[in-house]
Structure 1
Amino acid sequence: MNKTIKYLLSFLFFIQISCQKKKEHQKTKAMTKYEWLDATSAPLGYPVDVYRGGLESSDGEFTSLYSGTTAGSWGEANRGMNNGEKSIPNHLHVIWVSYAEKIFYEADTDIDYEKMIALFRNGYYTPSDGDDPNPRKENYNQIIVGFAPGGVVVVWLSGGGRQVEIGRYEGKKITIPKSEIDALSPGPQKNMFDPGYQSKIMHEFGIVPEEVAKANEGKPIPYGLWDSYRTEYNWTLVTELPNDLKNKDVGIYAYNGNREELFGETLVQKYPKIIPDNVKWNTPQKRTIPGKVDFSWVDENRYYSEIEFDKNEIFSAFKEVSSAEPNAEIELKVTVNIPKTSASVQLISGKKQVWLKNSKIMVRKTKYKD
């Protein structure tokens, strides 16, 4: 056997082994299972129903998202029926009806498997409550699929104290054949096509609150709104407390559905080697605009502050302070008054500052101290 033949045989053997290892690796990845619950979400006032379909995994596993009318708030988990140890999905194929639009949409798309599997595998740290101040390791346990007007689809991964967007996808308008509709048995699926039922859902106050229905009446659907929630800015929360006190933990709840419970200054100082930078309250990073923030601190008592922002005001403020430099560092500064009864809020970037005067601010002393 000459050298050329030996080389070719060796090369072919190497290729065969490499392909086999790749297949085994892919098979192992496909077989990796985690405990999670499916859920759906829709913006307040814009309920949807999944007609059929759901989340698909590369090993053939399927999780249906058909579970009844989805209402509530954007990013908020609603429904969910299939809890258990399951493969992580890599594809979404679903048909749903948007009752506000009286339109059916279909999304048939790959979703970010690699991002999800990494998050499931690594978990995250979150502050502990009560008597145990040590950082607590948590796992993600929910995959939420949100449906907004215009065919917008967003997937989040969620766990206690944390929710992160996986990706934004888009459905297309479709028409279900009349023959298929006629063949449906009387019940929830067939009701989705009934104009009277569609109208009833929009005026069912258990699904769309009366004040929301009245506020939306006669107004056009704000297409693009939910995409605007996804705009990121380089901002950090700053808390100025009386007597040079330091915050203990911080919560950030964004309009786009993301949620973070972060370690405050006292915990970061106490556990500097344990707490990762991405869950420290003052680590600079790009984030979407918050709808609410909260934080606590301790002196002789424990105090808790919560700030709920006016949506129009805070979006306008972020736009204003970043108008000259989109990547500018921005501080969302909360200053608590000396009596510890209220606070003021402003957005600061360089010499620019905008007061957020319409924020709802609450500061209170709690009944316990850590």
Structure 2
Amino acid sequence: MEEKYSWLGTVSAPQEYPMEIYKGAIVADDFTYGFDAIWGTQNTGWGKEGGTMSVETEKMNLPQHLEFTWYSLVEKKFYTGKWDLNKEKIKTLFDEGFVDQDTRKRTTYNSFVVGLAPKGKVVLWAKGPGNQKEIGAFQAHDTIITKEKAYDNAQYMFKEGFADRMLKDPSYKTFKPEVRKKIEEEGYPSEDVYEVYREKYNWKPDVILPEGGVWLDFGFTNYNGEQENLFAKSLKDDTYKPRAIPKFCGFYWRDKNKNRYAVWVDAFDDKEIFELFQKIGKEEDIDFTIKVNEDNTKVFLSLMTEQGEVFITKAKVRLSRKIE
């Protein structure tokens, strides 16, 4: 008997590139998790899950097939594709699982996130508490769907001016105000950037604390949508690994008097962080270093290699006061 697992599905798209779901499915031998126009517009951010639909099936086989059709509002194009999934890779990921930091118990992934990007790029991730891993990347092709052939619930996509209203009329709230402002000032990101995000470098986090300080954990999300949560044994055993460039990270630490503090790097400057990593290259071992001062009021960020140290100067950092 094939082992069964509990999983659901969701959709992700870049904040700047909203996608309209037409139809799709994550398919296993004994179960199909379907998508259609009821999912509406998706742009939660690259790698970030959207909503999920509950299902009556509690446990099912792992999926072996993905198919998806969607409308890219910015490009004003439909894309479609069907792909076989690497079921062995998925099974290995699910069977290995990870330790949940909150419960301290071994658990595993429970959701598949379908990422839809410009030019028909598709990425599939497995998601679980504090962890997200890329399963595969795929290429869809553009297609033509006419109003006459579209099913009833999708007819709204074919109304004249639909895409322009969704993109340009603030009353539709397609974009967060800060995203709209950035698009107005800088234009849309390069359509190719979601492939650049997938490039990996050999790095590990390294936190430098005042004397007597204890590093407790390190959670981070990378530009490619992958996410890791290091603590206890996984933090102690962590070493250089091929990882995409970090987009967000945060950690807790304790000083010599047992007072607890937190540091969050909420965002990097895209241009700066990519230029620094790209200049170092993929052959070097890189320490992504965060040095904290005595009272948790200032940090210094840098990338360190055998060749030297380069500083990250444009990140948005939050520092906690003493946490009781």
| TM-score, normalised relative to structure 2 | 0.90
For residues 220 and 45 of structure 1, the distance between their equivalents in structure 2, rounded to whole angstroms, comes to 7
Q: Give 1:121 deviation, angstroms.
A: 2.2
Cross-structure match for 1:206? 173
Cross-structure match for 1:75? 47
For residues 291 and 15 of structure 2, the distance between their equivalents in structure 1, rounded to whole angstroms, comes to 31
Indicate if the aligned counterparts of 2:147 and 2:155 stay in contact, CA closer than 8 A. no
1:141-156 correspondence to structure 2 within 5 Å: 141-156=110-125
Structure 1 residue matching 2:224: 3-state secondary structure: coil
In the alignment, structure 1 residue 236 sits paired with structure 2 residue 236: no
Q: Give 1:108 deviation, angstroms.
A: 0.8
1:278-357 correspondence to structure 2 within 5 Å: 280=236, 282-299=238-255, 300-307=258-265, 308-322=267-281, 326-357=282-313
Indicate if the aligned counterparts of 1:40 and 1:65 stay in contact, CA closer than 8 A. no
RMSD across aligned C-alpha pairs, in angstroms?
A: 2.0
Indicate if the aligned counterparts of 1:342 and 1:363 stay in contact, CA closer than 8 A. yes
For residues 152 and 229 of structure 1, the distance between their equivalents in structure 2, rounded to whole angstroms, comes to 12
For residues 137 and 44 of structure 1, the distance between their equivalents in structure 2, rounded to whole angstroms, comes to 33
Structure 2 residue matching 1:85: 3-state secondary structure: coil
Is there any run of 5+ residues in structure 2 with no aligned partner, and where? none
Higher strand proportion (structure 1 or 2): 2
| TM-score, normalised relative to structure 1 | 0.80
Q: 1:38 aligns with which of 3, 6, 9?
A: 9
Q: Which amino acid aligns with 2:201?
A: Y
In the alignment, structure 1 residue 246 sits paired with structure 2 residue 217: no
Report the number of matched residues. 314
Q: Which amino acid aligns with 2:277?
A: F
Indicate if the aligned counterparts of 2:127 and 2:133 stay in contact, CA closer than 8 A. yes
Q: Which amino acid aligns with 2:226?
A: N
For residues 107 and 219 of structure 1, the distance between their equivalents in structure 2, rounded to whole angstroms, comes to 28
Partner deviation per Cα, 1:4-28 (whole Å, 9 max, x = no partner): xxxxxxxxxxxxxxxxxxxxxxxx3
Percent identity of equivalent pairs = 31
Q: Give 1:339 deviation, angstroms.
A: 2.6
Structure 2 residue matching 1:199: 3-state secondary structure: helix
For the structure 1 residues 366 and 78, does the alpha-carbon distance in structure 2 shift closer, same or farther, using more than 3 Å as the test? farther
For the structure 1 residues 119 and 38, does the alpha-carbon distance in structure 2 shift closer, same or farther, using more than 3 Å as the test? same
Higher helix proportion (structure 1 or 2): 1
Partner deviation per Cα, 1:32-69 (whole Å, 9 max, x = no partner): 32111210000012111221121112x25211122222
Q: Give 1:280 deviation, angstroms.
A: 4.5
Partner deviation per Cα, 1:310-367 (whole Å, 9 max, x = no partner): 2111111101122xxx221011111101232110001112123211011112221353
Structure 2 residue matching 1:180: 3-state secondary structure: coil
Is there any run of 5+ residues in structure 1 with no aligned partner, and where? 1-27, 130-134, 269-274
In the alignment, structure 1 residue 64 sits paired with structure 2 residue 38: no
